[in-house]
C-alpha cells in the first residue's frame, strides 16, 4: 500500500546482505545446513577471523543462530529472518520495477500524442 515508495527497509538487514562475503556465507550455510567460522573460511577467499566477524554481524541482525557444540560453534541460518530479508529485496525491486513500468507507459503515451 502506501502511495509513497514503501521504502521502509530495515537498513541493518540491507547492509547485512549488502556485503558480498556475507551473501556467499549465507549461501554456503543454506547449502550445507550449518557450519563454523573455520569450515566457512576454508571455502572463502578470506581468513577465519574475517568470517567470525561477519558471523557476529549476521548473528546480531538475527540472520543466523549460534549453537555451541563442544569446542566448536556451529551456525545455522534463521529461516524466518532470511525470508524477511528476501521479502525486502523483492520490495525494493518491485518498487523500482513499478516506476520503470510507469515511465515506459508515459513514454508510450507521449509517442502516441506525437503521432496524432
Partner DNA sequence: CCCTCCTGCAACGTTTGGTTGCACATCAGG
Partner DNA sequence: CCTGATGTGCAACCAAACGTTGCAGGAGGG
> Residue 2 — left, alpha, or beta (φ > 0 → left; ψ -120 to 50 → alpha)?
left
Distance from C-alpha of 102 to C-alpha of 8, rounded to nearest angstrom: 21
Binding positions for DNA, 25-54, rule CB under 7 A = 36-38, 45-50, 52-54
Contact (CB, 8 A) for 22 and 54 = yes
Q: Which does 64 bind (CB under 5 to 8 A by kind): its own copies, DNA, none?
A: none
Burial of 40 (0-12, 13-18, 19+ CB in 10 A): buried
Q: Which of 5, 10, 15, 96 binds DNA (CB under 7 A)?
A: 15
Q: Which of 10, 19, 27, 97 binds DNA (CB under 7 A)?
A: 19
Residue in 59, 58, 37 with CA at minimum distance from that of residue 48: 37
Q: Which does 21 bind (CB under 5 to 8 A by kind): DNA, its own copies, none?
A: DNA
| Cell reading at 31 | 547449502
User: Which residue, 18 or 98, is less far from DNA as judged by CB?
Assistant: 18
Residues that bind its own copies (CB under 8 A): 5, 7, 9, 11, 14-15, 18-20, 23-24, 26-27, 30-31, 33, 79, 82-83, 85-86, 89-90, 92-93, 95-97, 99-100, 103-104
Amino acid at each position: 500500500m502506501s502511495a509513497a515508495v514503501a521504502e521502509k527497509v530495515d537498513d541493518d538487514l540491507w547492509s547485512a546482505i549488502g556485503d558480498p562475503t556475507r551473501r556467499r556465507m549465507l549461501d554456503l550455510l543454506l547449502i550445507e545446513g550449518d557450519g563454523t567460522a573455520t569450515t566457512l573460511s576454508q571455502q572463502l577467499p578470506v581468513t577465519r577471523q574475517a568470517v567470525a566477524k561477519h558471523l557476529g554481524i549476521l548473528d546480531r541482525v538475527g540472520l543466523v543462530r549460534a549453537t555451541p557444540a563442544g569446542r566448536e560453534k556451529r551456525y545455522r541460518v534463521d529461516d524466518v529472518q532470511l525470508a524477511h530479508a528476501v521479502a525486502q529485496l523483492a520490495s525494493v525491486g518491485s518498487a523500482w520495477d513499478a516506476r520503470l513500468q510507469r515511465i515506459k507507459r508515459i513514454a508510450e503515451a507521449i509517442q502516441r500524442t506525437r503521432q496524432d
